[in-house]
Structure 1
Amino acid sequence: MKYLLITLLATLLIHSRELTPIATLKASGIVSDIVEDKGYLYVATDSGVVDVIDLTTQKITKQIHFDPIVRSDDLITQTRIHSIDRFGGKTLMVTSAANAYRHVWVEQNGTLTKVIDAKKHKMPKCAFFDKEGKIVLGTFGSDIMRYDTAESFSLYERHISESTMGGMALNKKREKMAISDESGRVQLIEINSSKVVQEFDSQHVDNIYRVAYRGNIIITAGQDRRVGVYIGKERAYHIKSDFLVYSVALSPSGEKALYSSGTEHHLQLFNPATGMKGDKLVGHQATPNKILFITEKAIISAGDEETVYFWMLP
C-alpha cells in the first residue's frame, strides 16, 4: 500500500503542469479587490477608480470614480478603494478618508451614495451585502456590524474577538460568514443574529490573511505559511507552504482550490478533499492577494500590481 501511494504521488507530480494566463488586462491602478456579477468584473484600485470589465470582451466598459482626498495638511492623495461587493444591481465599496477612518458607499445606476461617513469613526476592513441587501461590515478591531441603508440604522454591532480581524467571506446564500483573526482562529457566524454557530479547531499559529467559503468548506491563507482546510464539522487539516500565503479561493463546487505559493508568486491548485496538489498557475509579477473562480475552470486573479490575470484550467 505504501509503495502504491508513493507511485500515485510521483505520477501526479509528473503530470502537474505550469499554466500561463490566457489574457491580462491593465487596471486603472494597483488592484485592491475584485468581484464578479452577471458577466462583469468589478476591479477596485488604489487610484480612486473601479474598472468594470465585460468578461466576454475583456474590455473596460464603465468606471466608478471617487474624488481625491484633501488631507488636513492640504496634501492631495488618491482615494483607495479597499473592498468591493455586488448584489441586486448595487455596488458596495469601502474607501479611505481624510482622517484615519473610512467611508462606505453604494453605487446604483450611476448614482454614488455615501451610506456611512468616516465621521462615525468606523474602520471597516471589508463590507458585503447580505441576502436581504443589508450591509455587513467587519472592522480591524474584530467588530461585526449589520447596517440597514434604507433606515440608516445599525441593526447590531458585536465584538467577536480580542485579536485583529484577518479575513471575512460569505457563503453563496449570503446568510453565514466565515471570519478569521490574528490569533489563527476561524469562526462561522449567522448573519441575521450575529450568533457564532461554529468555532473551528485552529490550523494556524499566526495571522490569517484571507478566507474562502463554499458549501461546507472553508480555506484560509496564513502568515504562518499554512493553508487551513476546514470541511464542515468532520475534519480539518493544513498544507504547509514555503512562503507566506496571502490569498486562497474555492471553485463554485468546492472541489478545487487555489492558494498563493512561493516567492515567485505562483498559484497552486489543490483538491480540498484530499489535499493533493495539481497544476501551478504561473505569471504574476507581484504577490497575488485576490483569487476568484468564475466557473470550475475559469479563474481571475490580481495582486499588488496594475494587472488583472485571466486563466483557464484544462
Structure 2
Amino acid sequence: MLRIFMYVMLACVSLLAIEPYKKVSLDNNLVSSNVVKNKLLVGSDFGEVIEIFFDDEFFKIESKRLMQLPKVKTYFGDSYPRVFFVDVFYDSMLVLSEGDYGGKNLLIIKDGAIENILKNHEALNIKKAAFVNKDSIFIALASNEIMLYSLKDDEFKYKKQISSASFSDFSLNENKDKYVLSCESGIVYYGDVKNGEIITTFEGANKDNVYRALISDNEIIITAGQDRKAGIYKGREYDFIQTDFLVYSVGISKNGKYGAYMKNESSDIAVFSFLDKKEIVVLQGHTNVLNSIFFVSDNKIISTEDGKDILFWKLDK
C-alpha cells in the first residue's frame, strides 16, 4: 500500500515539472540579460552584445551578435570586457561594461558609433544603468547612490544617496517613472525616477541581502533573497515563500498574476499564483545558477543562467 502511495506521489510531482520548449546556447558565458519588446539583449564575459529575437509563440527565435567590444587593460594583460547590462531605446543602445583596470564604461551605441558618455566625469563604480527616455539614463552605484544623467546636457540632474547599505539591484516600472531598488539590508525602496525621491519603503519579507526586486504594472513587488526567501509586497502587506536555497532570481508577469523564483540549488524554477502562492509548475533544465527570469506573457517565460544556456518555456504546451 505504501509503495502504491509513493508511485502516486511521484507521478503527481512529475506532472508539475516540464522541460524547456526551446534552448539557445551561447559560445561564451552570459553575464547579463534584458528583455525589450520581442528582443532578449545579452551581455557576455567575452565583450559580446547579443540580440535574440523571438516571436510571440516562440516559433521563430533568431540569435545574432551585434558587436564585440574592444579589449580593455587589466593587471594581467588585455582581455575582452564583461558586459554588465544592455538596454535599448529606439535606435540607441546603452551598454554598461568593464573598463580598464576594473573600471566601468557606460557606452551609447548609435548608427555604429560608440561613445563613452561619462569620460568627462569622475570614475564611478556603476552597478546598473537603464534608459528612462531618449535623453535620460537612470544610474545606480555600488555605494547605493542613484543618479539621473542627461545625455542632452551632459550632466547629472540629481544624485541621491539611498542608504549606507551596498546596492544590489533596481528595476523601473513599465512607464519608467518609478523605480524599485534593493540592497544588502533587506529593505526595498520605491521612488520617483524624475527627482530620485523615495516615496515609500518596504520591509519584512527579507531579512538579508535582496539580490533582485521587480515590480508589475499593478505595483506588486517580488524579491529574491539571500535568506532563502522569495518576498512578496502587495501595498503595505508582505509575505514570502521559503525555499531550501538562496533565491538568486525571480520573475513577475506584467499583470501581477504570476510569479517565479529559483526553487533550489539545481536552479529549478517554481511558477506560482500571487493569489494564493500555489505552485503551478516547476521548470527544469538549467545546469548553472539562474541569472534572470522574464515573463513574456502569462504562459511564456525566458530564463537565463550564469552559463551559456537560454531557455524558452511554454507553460501550456
Q: Is the 8 A contact 1:27 1:51 kept in 2?
A: no
Q: Which residue matches 2:72?
A: 69
Distance 2:313 2:144 in 1: 34
Q: Which residue matches 1:227?
A: 230
Cα deviation for residue 47 of structure 1 reads 0.8
Change (3 A) 1:238 1:38: closer
Cα deviation for residue 74 of structure 1 reads 5.9
Cα deviation for residue 75 of structure 1 reads 0.6
One-letter amino acid of the counterpart of residue 238, structure 2: A
| Aligned-partner SS, 2:207 | coil
Cα deviation for residue 15 of structure 1 reads 8.7
Cα deviation for residue 23 of structure 1 reads 0.9
Cα deviation for residue 64 of structure 1 reads 2.1
Q: Which residue matches 2:31?
A: 32
Q: Is the 8 A contact 1:131 1:173 kept in 2?
A: no
Distance 1:133 1:232 in 2: 32
Distance 2:90 2:140 in 1: 21
Q: Is the 8 A contact 2:71 2:78 kept in 1?
A: yes
Distance 1:171 1:70 in 2: 36
After superposition, what is the alpha-carbon deviation per residue over 1:125-165, rounded to whole angstroms, capped at 9, x for unaligned?
11111146410011111000100112211111111111001
Q: Is the 8 A contact 2:48 2:65 kept in 1?
A: no
Q: Is the 8 A contact 1:131 1:175 kept in 2?
A: no
One-letter amino acid of the counterpart of residue 37, structure 1: V
Asked whether 1:100 is paired with 2:99, we answer no
Q: Which residue matches 2:199?
A: 197
Change (3 A) 1:118 1:256: farther
Q: Which residue matches 1:129?
A: 131
Distance 2:222 2:153 in 1: 35
One-letter amino acid of the counterpart of residue 22, structure 1: Y
Distance 1:239 1:118 in 2: 46
- Which of 195, 206, 217 is matched with 2:220 structurally? 217
After superposition, what is the alpha-carbon deviation per residue over 1:146-194, rounded to whole angstroms, capped at 9, x for unaligned?
0011221111111111100112111000000000110100010100011
Gaps of 5+ in 2: 1-8
Asked whether 1:48 is paired with 2:51, we answer no
Q: Is the 8 A contact 2:34 2:85 kept in 1?
A: no
One-letter amino acid of the counterpart of residue 154, structure 2: S
TM-score where L is the length of structure 1: 0.91
Q: Is the 8 A contact 2:228 2:245 kept in 1?
A: yes
Distance 1:181 1:198 in 2: 15
Q: Which residue matches 2:169?
A: 167
Q: Which residue matches 1:5?
A: none
Change (3 A) 1:16 1:166: farther
Q: Which residue matches 1:274?
A: 276
Q: Which residue matches 1:287?
A: 289
Q: Is the 8 A contact 1:88 1:133 kept in 2?
A: no
Distance 2:76 2:173 in 1: 42
Aligned-residue RMSD, C-alpha: 1.9
Q: Is the 8 A contact 2:32 2:84 kept in 1?
A: yes
One-letter amino acid of the counterpart of residue 188, structure 1: Y
Q: Which residue matches 1:139?
A: 141
One-letter amino acid of the counterpart of residue 279, structure 2: K
Distance 2:110 2:134 in 1: 16
Q: Which residue matches 2:160?
A: 158
Distance 2:150 2:15 in 1: 48
Cα deviation for residue 89 of structure 1 reads 2.8
Superposed counterparts of 1:175-190, under 5 Å: 175-190=177-192
Change (3 A) 1:156 1:243: same
Distance 2:28 2:174 in 1: 29
Distance 1:227 1:15 in 2: 23
Q: Which residue matches 1:3?
A: none
Distance 2:132 2:261 in 1: 26
- Which of 220, 243, 246 is matched with 1:244 structurally? 246
One-letter amino acid of the counterpart of residue 69, structure 1: V
| More displaced 10-residue stretch of structure 1: 25-34 or 114-123 | 114-123
Cα deviation for residue 16 of structure 1 reads 5.5
Cα deviation for residue 14 of structure 1 reads 6.1
Q: Is the 8 A contact 1:200 1:230 kept in 2?
A: yes
Cα deviation for residue 107 of structure 1 reads 1.7
The percentage of counterpart residues that share the same residue type is 24
One-letter amino acid of the counterpart of residue 223, structure 2: T
